[in-house]
Structure 1
Amino acid sequence: MAQQACAQQAEPAEAAAPNDQQVQDIVVTGSRIVRDGYTAPTPVTVAPTADLAKATPTNIADGLNKLPQFSLSSGPARSTHNFASSAANGNLLNLRGVGPERTLIMFDSVRMPPTTFRGVVDVNIIPNLLVERVDIVTAGASAAYGSDAVSGVVNFVLNKKFTGLTGVVQAGVSQRGDNGNEKFGLAYGTDFAEDRGHILLSGEYYNNRGMLRSDRKQSLGNFLYAGQSRTALLAGNPAGSAANPFAIYSNTTITNSTVGGLINGPAGFSFNNFRFNQSGQAVPFNAGTLIGTNGYAVGGDGYVISPNTTAVAPLRTYQGFGRVSYDLTDDVTFFGQGVFTRSDLQYASLANAFSAPANVTIYSGNPYIPANVQAAMTAQGVPSFTMAANLSYMGPLQAKERTDFYMGQAGFEGKLGNFNWNTSYVHSKSIFTLAQQTFDIKKTFAALDAVRNPANGQITCRVLLDPTVASQYQGCQPLNIMGEGSAAATRAGYDYANGVSRYRAETTQDQLQASLSGSLFDLPAGPVDIAIGAEWRKQKLHLTSNSDPATLAGATAAQTTALRSAYFAGLRGVPTSSLYYNITNTGIANGSVTVKEAFAEISVPILKDIPFIRALDVNAAGRITDYSTSGRVETWKVGGTWKPVDDLLFRITRSRDIRAPALYDLFAGDSSGIGTLNDPVSGVTANVSQITGGNRNLKPEKADTFTFGGVLTPSFLRGFSISVDYYNLKIDDAIGTLSVAQIVNNCRLDANAPECALVNRPSAGAFPTSVRIAPANIAVLKTSGIDVDASYRTTLGNGNLSLRAYVNYLDSYKTQQSATQVVLENAGRGSNGSQPIARPKWRGTFNVNYENDGWGVFISEQYIGKFKLGFPAATGQNQVFADPDVGTVWYTDLTISKKIDAFGGDVEFFGTVNNLFDKKPPLIPGTIPGVNFPTIISVYDQVGRAFTAGARFKF
């Protein structure tokens, strides 16, 4: 499947099995210097799309993510969907696991512009049918291709000379009847004008209906990792410490709230710690059996996060592509091409809730208060009480994301003596929109503050009786949340309070590029080849929002108070941290950057055909880049290849690479969301307001990469080849942000730490009202490992047999979030947080393909090695598990196909079973029950056994 370019090229054509077609030389992406048979010093993996489709027929990205060089990629089945503020739910490829923003995505050697405002590319936009193969450069390549190629390049190579009609029709479903999907596509290519011109057209449609977490039994047990000992917790040992390690519980609940509402103030009120039941009456709250983490219990009346939220997000894509080329002369060709794609993603996120400490206030006189509670309030002089409530019975909140992508390119290419040249202009636009259902805070607090109208005795919103503000709340309907199902009984009030937070991000990019490559002159060992070029591009971001937090904040505290008072006029009980919406409040962003670049590359043959040196070449590349935001930066690469004998090749590279900050990193306005914090200061576990914003002082990250390896193609074993490559990548001044938990913990450990300025507490020891997060050039990342690629082709009986094994060993993956943080060694470890990840030391893909008389059998084994949960205790992050070991997992995919001749062309019928043995993912719950599917979704399969059947044809 994933063929190493140099291994493929180094294998002599005569080594192929007798029934194989002649293997043709290909030009791969490892270098801008093109030369048939050239073996790049930078490791390059070539993945033919035909082979990717055999393993995973849904789309190319899903097939790539089964290769071990991709780690922790995002996707509809690999992302959490609790909230809608990440804009990172598409297929985002992640080479080496260092982040999709550090992987350069190219479409036929053209840099793809960002498709999300986060600065990354959702590869769902790339048309699949006319992609011939995917070249994967698994080392730094910024000198050759520019910024973002820190971990490498993924280049989707177009079959520009395709002629004929090809297409695919297929459908699939999981064994349990969900994740139904359909795919249809048609592509056409033809010559015209006596073969001087060529036209390509394609259109594709893909639809996956996804699944909910509740569709799998593993999500229904309310599993939780919590402290093993309540006694140890009360003795001052936090959950996850050595004395109170994490252990798995089932049937857990969250004790700071209930579905019907939990009264938790004021102090001394006789109904404190009472809950409202289905009939709306106040009854004593049963906390259940408390465990070794504050805020959680086994059983009891606490609430359970509903599993009726999305596990695999429904995805629908439409893709259209067209290209025309025409030979103006024998040496000059004009070309133009265009892409339009639409990607729609929809998911069910967490239900509306009022969680501690941002509780809702219910005032005396509210007609929904039970009579005995109201009597106690009157007798005790209690003007109001606070309560927390989870409205899961109202169902999850729906979020919709849409990405519309346009790209047009026009240019010329040709030959000039020994040189090839090309120049082109590219214009692209990406429009990302999101709509998230959530409580509109202003309307919600108006609806919750219910009273009786003295004129008619009807229950109404209190603000409607105030003539000075009533006009702001026209249509207000009262809402009751005291009792399980009470909001459903006052549906008009719930509908009035529920709003839609929206934002729209438009990213445009213009590019001009020109390059020249060819041979300068010949040396005794061969030609000296060069490539030179220049690029110019301008990228703009314009993000608008109906929930910009900055519009509720003034230059001074007094101005902020005035703005909030005007917006929330007439309301009472609105928490000081509240913004426009309960969940998603997104700041606007406007900004642009202009980039000017010039690059050069040279390949020099040193020696050839002498003892122990069949060939010795060196390669060097350099690029100067100037950013309008941060100035000039240089990148470079030096490498070489040595072939001591025909069967063996060694290669080595050293490079300096960069990743420029995304426009949103630079120009984002303040945004607010919520997240759960286990606060070590107050001991409270609750939702906290998280404020994020941009940093215009960001500079490009700098990375140093070293690779060394070799390729063996023994002449005594025809059809066999193996490559082994060591890599070492270090990123300095990496753009990073500390998590809320890290910021709070750093301030706890050092009262003078700069992070303390980011934590807002109403008083010392109180739970924070908000925590601010902003990106900065503060982090360091180091990773190293070994890639092994082995393949063997031969005949078996009357058919052809091919075997391939690709293995990655992760030796080290160290991160340091800032100079004040300790270094974390992540290799061989996993984390079960709100964004669970794992980095097993061993991963592999093993493929067997046998073809005979039109029949084909393809078996793919995906291996995920063992690892330990939790970071070392020296990190101070309390990540000790009673049983930290997670064992190895194998997934098996099977495809059976049959090719027939029909209607003058080839038709291939196929059937694929993914996860053939229905392997369930390891049980790895989070530290908050019910938030995620209880495993590491970025690593393991949630769906189980799934079937796909269809036909591919070519005429």
Structure 2
Amino acid sequence: MNYRNPRSAVRLGMLPAGIAIALAPAFAGAQEQADQSATTLDRIEVTGSRIRGADMETQQPIITIGREQLQQQGFVSVADVLQNLTSAGSPAIARGEVLASGENVGGYYVDLRNLGAQRTLVLVNGKRLGATTGGLQDLSQIPMSAIDRIEVLKDGASAIYGSDAIAGVVNVITRKRFEGAEANAYFGQYGEGDGDKQTYDFTIGAVGDRGGVTASVEYSKEDPVWAKDRWYSASGNAGPKYPGSGWSVVSQNGSFCNPAVYDCTKSSAVWMTYDGSGDPTDPANYRPHAAGDRANSNEQMMAQTAIERRSVFVNANYDIVDNVTFNADMLYNHRSTLQQVAGYPYQSQAFGTPLSGESAFNPFGHDIEFRRRLWEVPRTTNSELETYRFAGGFNGYFEMAGRTFDWDVGAMMNRNNLTKFGHGDMSLLASPLALGPSFINADGVAQCGTAANPIPLGTNLGSGECLPWNPLLPYGVDGAGSLSDPALQAFLFPYYADTGRTTTTSYTANLAGSLFELPAGELGFAVGVEHREEDGRFVPDAFNQSGMSTGLPATTTQGAYSLDEVYLELNIPVLSDLPFAKELTFNVASRYSDYSNFGDTTNSKFGFTWRPLDELLVRGTYAEGFRAPTIDNLYGGVGGSFESYTDPCGSTSSGNVAGNAACTSAGVSPTYVQLGQGGAVCTTFPCQTGYQFLSGSNPNLTPETAESQTMGIVWSPRWVQGLDFSLDWYKVTIENVISSDSVDDILGDCYRLGISARCEGIVRDPASGVIKFMQYGLTNKGAVETEGYDFGVKYRLPETAFGKFSFDWQNSYVSYYRIKADDAPDTDWTNYTSRGPNFRLRSNLGVNWEMGAFAAKWTTRYYSGMSEACTRAAECTDPLYSSPDTNAPGKVYPLREVGGNAFHDLQVSWKAPWNATVAIGANNVTDHQGPIMFSAPNNQFPYYGGFDIGRFYYLKYQQRF
């Protein structure tokens, strides 16, 4: 693989990220089994190859999930189905990550091998699905009712499809030439009585002598689940075992610090809260702020966001002549996602907005600092995404020199229009006025300004109006200046609107056939060209861009690039019908890509298929891959966030290095204790800061490079009919990884590893030692490598008097998943196997039964144990854990480990005589609860974001006409 950058003469090393081998359709598992009815002996193009032929399917490590398998599951989206493949990684932007922001929130993304959703390419009928500026491809755009089957290639395929096909390829193939009509209704609900899901769809099709039209319309709605209603989040982010632990000192009760008496920046300062007994302007009516006054922000948080979708998909095709067909796909999708998080934890010190000594609500005659969570106005974001997609073209075949050649030309346009409406962040133009001088006017009403120079009462800030605010009144306490006043809310809390648009346009031409006959068969080939353009922008509201609100600051992302590509693929049969060589075939492919923004790259792939016996298949691949930087990677703006991290210099944090040379040179005392929001001492880790940090893009990024290797066998012993085995090994290495630098990585490099260059962006308060500011961004750094095995067994029993039984057992075992930092030696990898969501083993066991009109399916989904750094000594299962993979040999890192988890699903169905099917089922039928994970992997709460959050019942009805 060659790569040249016109801005630099540096040659990039080869780098994998193509991911390894998938199971043959005949041997896929409960969620991965093949739809045999979809296979024909015509010239077909399968995912992973452009050469058409019935034998190509056996050469590819492909999982095919047919329509029947989709209907046997209790899920309402493509991503939910794919998330339960054993090879699937942790969900990208899980619905429990309610604090996630930006244009990607609300989408459904698939991540193979935990290599990142942006490294799995998604196709619709062989053409790219449009992506966000961050490179994520939203599978929720595709209505389930329009899908015929899903093909999943778990192998690097950049030589065939170009950028992003590192971990694998998902190809969603829609229904064509459907005749008749079909209606479906789905309703489900958690056992707790919440999280309602409903989907209604209708498909109609007509087929004529030369063509057909198929149209699917779908409506889907998923209600939110609230954190206060789940065991893992109701009592706070330390879990039910530690109720109240880690609650925020910035609470809805409000509190103040008198700077005339205390240094309010110190954790030793005394903060006072109104006791509700009398005049709030009388200092005697205040008491010390106590632990019981703290805020459990989870009481106002969604545990899962709400989503509503409306989709229309139409396919039309027409045979212009016998060997030329016109085909067109049209998609419209509208997705609405609602998020709610707790009211903002306002701290006057952070914004320089004390309660003025001249305020009518101030108990003293001088400025005072205060804290107040804005409980009355929770922060909400409603993301509205509209997708328009058209893909059309001509395809056909022709004869030449006694051979058949297939061709196609086409164009595709995919556009996403996004509007995000936000509310609940306070205006920093209005709050200084509301907290400034005020007085009680002649009508007994609090008014901004002074009696000599009053400011008109009203909510129109732009017209010079103002309403005063009393932040010392607790939530639920009425009075002048109370935040419960709708007029005051209107003055302080404007509505914000972010907008975005991404457009993908491509033009393609392909030719495939055979060149000549070899002794073992025909030499097949495919060749093609593609021109693609990516254009995108995301524009935050002007208030957000200016930083004049309590919301996270952000700037505009805008950019575009184009590329031209050409590829060649050859399928070379070498041996056939010989002893120990029933088949030996080589497949080679190479793709040249020329990008307008970084240069060109060539990626190649080599594969083989060897069948020593009729019942035994051996195959393997070596593939090069790459992922080009996205628009957001290169041209994204700067954004702010309140990060959660563990300070290595904090003397109470796990694995700390307090008092070492790097910490003391930064002026940090060996007894320093990490401080969180409101300057409170952190008791759980990672701990959220009360200061905004900034992160952004990098215009100098270069592509990731990848190598993937696979080797596998598929065996169907002749002496046991219906029994199939598969065993596949894979190894994927990604180098030059584009990743967002993290606060923990920077702090670890600076203070643990002593890399002085990594300390430059860390700003600490010289008095308290707390980190007040950091700015960091994307970078090409280090490598990611993973290796593992897929093992599957499928057994189809002969039909009995009790019906038909079949068993599917599929496993994905990870030997290691590790990451290496920049410039680290090859021996200095950090192992993340079993850490958080990087499961050592995932296993699915499916049992199917059919008898007449009745059918049942039982599925067990198993996840092996998880581990995390200890945050509490009482929770440590291995307090003396030390390993070379921690990048600090000999250093003890206390470890907490939890056991494996199994979730069981059941569905029972009946085919009614009036051409209908009724199904009832339950996901997580045993109501299993996963373990508390204080590190909150893929979640805002102390629970893995990919686990079931309760028993979910559902009912499905299908009527065919």
Two-structure CA RMSD over aligned residues (Å): 3.2
* Contact kept? 1:248, 1:925, Cα under 8 Å: no
Give the match for residue 313 of structure 2.
Answer: 321
For residues 307 and 104 of structure 1, the distance between their equivalents in structure 2, rounded to whole angstroms, comes to: 38
Task: Confirm whether residue 662 of structure 1 aligns to residue 679 of structure 2.
Answer: no
For residues 878 and 308 of structure 1, the distance between their equivalents in structure 2, rounded to whole angstroms, comes to: 44
Give the match for residue 141 of structure 2.
Answer: 125
Give the match for residue 182 of structure 1.
Answer: 198
For residues 517 and 10 of structure 1, the distance between their equivalents in structure 2, rounded to whole angstroms, comes to: 29
* Contact kept? 1:74, 1:89, Cα under 8 Å: no
Q: Structure 1's 467 and 932: CA in aligned 2 closer, same or farther, altered over 3 A? A: closer
Give the match for residue 397 of structure 2.
Answer: 415
For residues 932 and 880 of structure 1, the distance between their equivalents in structure 2, rounded to whole angstroms, comes to: 28
* Contact kept? 2:898, 2:931, Cα under 8 Å: yes
* Contact kept? 2:178, 2:214, Cα under 8 Å: yes
Aligned pairs for 1:250-265 within 5 A: 250-254=243-247, 256-264=249-257
Aligned pairs for 1:534-545 within 5 A: 534-545=529-540
Task: Confirm whether residue 432 of structure 1 aligns to residue 418 of structure 2.
Answer: yes
Deviation at 1:804, TM superposition (A): 1.1
Deviation at 1:501, TM superposition (A): 3.2
Give the match for residue 222 of structure 2.
Answer: 208
Tell me the amino acid that sits aligned with residue 161 of structure 2.
Y
Deviation at 1:94, TM superposition (A): 0.7
Give the match for residue 645 of structure 1.
Answer: 613
Question: The residue matched to 1:224 in structure 2 has which SS?
Answer: coil
Give the match for residue 513 of structure 1.
Answer: 508
Aligned pairs for 1:452-601 within 5 A: 452=439, 458-462=445-449, 465=453, 472=462, 474-485=464-475, 487-547=482-542, 552=546, 579-601=547-569
For residues 207 and 171 of structure 2, the distance between their equivalents in structure 1, rounded to whole angstroms, comes to: 26
Q: Structure 1's 355 and 827: CA in aligned 2 closer, same or farther, altered over 3 A? A: farther
Give the match for residue 942 of structure 2.
Answer: 934
CA displacement, residues 909-940 of structure 1 (integer Å, 9 cap, x when unaligned) = 11111111111121223489x99333112x31
Question: The residue matched to 1:51 in structure 2 has which SS?
Answer: helix
Deviation at 1:88, TM superposition (A): 3.2
Q: Structure 1's 150 and 7: CA in aligned 2 closer, same or farther, altered over 3 A? A: same
Aligned pairs for 1:61-140 within 5 A: 61-74=79-92, 77=95, 79-85=96-102, 87-114=104-131, 116-140=132-156
Question: The residue matched to 2:297 in structure 1 has which SS?
Answer: coil
Give the match for residue 656 of structure 2.
Answer: none
Give the match for residue 296 of structure 1.
Answer: none
Task: Confirm whether residue 401 of structure 1 aligns to residue 370 of structure 2.
Answer: no
- Residue 741 (structure 2) aligned to one of 718, 732, 738: 738
Q: Which moves more between the two structures, 709-718 or 157-166? A: 157-166
CA displacement, residues 412-463 of structure 1 (integer Å, 9 cap, x when unaligned) = 0000221111010111211122122211221222222241167877422349
CA displacement, residues 32-82 of structure 1 (integer Å, 9 cap, x when unaligned) = 2221033454421111232133122322321221111111123663x4102
* Contact kept? 1:83, 1:349, Cα under 8 Å: no
Q: Structure 1's 839 and 265: CA in aligned 2 closer, same or farther, altered over 3 A? A: farther
Q: Which moves more between the two structures, 169-178 or 347-356? A: 347-356
Give the match for residue 163 of structure 1.
Answer: 179
Tell me the amino acid that sits aligned with residue 762 of structure 2.
V
CA displacement, residues 515-553 of structure 1 (integer Å, 9 cap, x when unaligned) = 111111111111111111010011111222224766x5x
Q: Which moves more between the two structures, 665-674 or 176-185? A: 665-674
Give the match for residue 856 of structure 1.
Answer: 855
Aligned pairs for 1:361-400 within 5 A: 361-370=354-363, 374=364, 378=365, 383-392=366-375, 394=376, 396-400=378-382
Give the match for residue 342 of structure 1.
Answer: 334
For residues 75 and 178 of structure 1, the distance between their equivalents in structure 2, rounded to whole angstroms, comes to: 21
Q: Which moves more between the two structures, 156-165 or 868-877? A: 868-877
For residues 883 and 750 of structure 1, the distance between their equivalents in structure 2, rounded to whole angstroms, comes to: 20
Task: Confirm whether residue 218 of structure 1 aligns to residue 232 of structure 2.
Answer: yes
Question: The residue matched to 2:75 in structure 1 has which SS?
Answer: coil
Deviation at 1:698, TM superposition (A): 1.4
Question: The residue matched to 2:490 in structure 1 has which SS?
Answer: helix
For residues 949 and 630 of structure 1, the distance between their equivalents in structure 2, rounded to whole angstroms, comes to: 51
Q: Which moves more between the two structures, 37-46 or 514-523? A: 37-46
Q: Structure 1's 869 and 386: CA in aligned 2 closer, same or farther, altered over 3 A? A: same
Tell me the amino acid that sits aligned with residue 135 of structure 2.
G
For residues 274 and 744 of structure 2, the distance between their equivalents in structure 1, rounded to whole angstroms, comes to: 34
Deviation at 1:739, TM superposition (A): 1.3
Question: The residue matched to 2:24 in structure 1 has which SS?
Answer: helix
Give the match for residue 945 of structure 1.
Answer: 951
* Contact kept? 2:447, 2:455, Cα under 8 Å: no
Aligned pairs for 1:258-273 within 5 A: 258-264=251-257, 266=259, 268-269=261-262, 272-273=269-270
Give the match for residue 693 of structure 2.
Answer: 690
For residues 891 and 403 of structure 1, the distance between their equivalents in structure 2, rounded to whole angstroms, comes to: 33
Q: Structure 1's 303 and 311: CA in aligned 2 closer, same or farther, altered over 3 A? A: closer
CA displacement, residues 748-768 of structure 1 (integer Å, 9 cap, x when unaligned) = 457873333333446476434
Task: Confirm whether residue 896 of structure 1 aligns to residue 912 of structure 2.
Answer: no
Tell me the amino acid that sits aligned with residue 801 of structure 1.
F
For residues 697 and 847 of structure 1, the distance between their equivalents in structure 2, rounded to whole angstroms, comes to: 48
Question: The residue matched to 2:760 in structure 1 has which SS?
Answer: helix
Deviation at 1:273, TM superposition (A): 1.1
Give the match for residue 781 of structure 2.
Answer: 778
Q: Structure 1's 751 and 868: CA in aligned 2 closer, same or farther, altered over 3 A? A: closer
For residues 411 and 185 of structure 1, the distance between their equivalents in structure 2, rounded to whole angstroms, comes to: 27
TM-score, normalised relative to structure 2: 0.84
* Contact kept? 2:391, 2:413, Cα under 8 Å: yes
Give the match for residue 725 of structure 2.
Answer: 722
Task: Confirm whether residue 916 of structure 1 aligns to residue 925 of structure 2.
Answer: yes
Tell me the amino acid that sits aligned with residue 954 of structure 2.
T
Q: Structure 1's 7 and 336: CA in aligned 2 closer, same or farther, altered over 3 A? A: closer
Give the match for residue 808 of structure 1.
Answer: 812
* Contact kept? 2:869, 2:893, Cα under 8 Å: yes
Deviation at 1:164, TM superposition (A): 2.0
For residues 80 and 892 of structure 2, the distance between their equivalents in structure 1, rounded to whole angstroms, comes to: 33
For residues 199 and 678 of structure 1, the distance between their equivalents in structure 2, rounded to whole angstroms, comes to: 58
Deviation at 1:689, TM superposition (A): 1.1
Tell me the amino acid that sits aligned with residue 495 of structure 1.
A
* Contact kept? 2:573, 2:584, Cα under 8 Å: yes
Q: Structure 1's 816 and 357: CA in aligned 2 closer, same or farther, altered over 3 A? A: farther
Task: Confirm whether residue 707 of structure 1 aligns to residue 710 of structure 2.
Answer: yes
For residues 761 and 418 of structure 2, the distance between their equivalents in structure 1, rounded to whole angstroms, comes to: 30
TM-score, normalised relative to structure 1: 0.84
* Contact kept? 1:7, 1:721, Cα under 8 Å: no
* Contact kept? 2:27, 2:794, Cα under 8 Å: no
* Contact kept? 1:660, 1:700, Cα under 8 Å: yes
Deviation at 1:217, TM superposition (A): 3.4
Q: Structure 1's 264 and 739: CA in aligned 2 closer, same or farther, altered over 3 A? A: farther
* Contact kept? 1:318, 1:343, Cα under 8 Å: yes
For residues 891 and 796 of structure 2, the distance between their equivalents in structure 1, rounded to whole angstroms, comes to: 47
Give the match for residue 244 of structure 1.
Answer: none
For residues 184 and 504 of structure 1, the distance between their equivalents in structure 2, rounded to whole angstroms, comes to: 29
CA displacement, residues 224-280 of structure 1 (integer Å, 9 cap, x when unaligned) = 28xxxxxxxxxxxxxxxxxxxxx9633314464343223345373499513213524
CA displacement, residues 373-432 of structure 1 (integer Å, 9 cap, x when unaligned) = x1xxx5xxxx3222222233x153211111110111121000022111101011121112
Give the match for residue 654 of structure 2.
Answer: none
For residues 192 and 251 of structure 2, the distance between their equivalents in structure 1, rounded to whole angstroms, comes to: 32
Identical-pair percentage = 23
Tell me the amino acid that sits aligned with residue 510 of structure 1.
T
The count of corresponding residues between Structure 1 and Structure 2 is 860
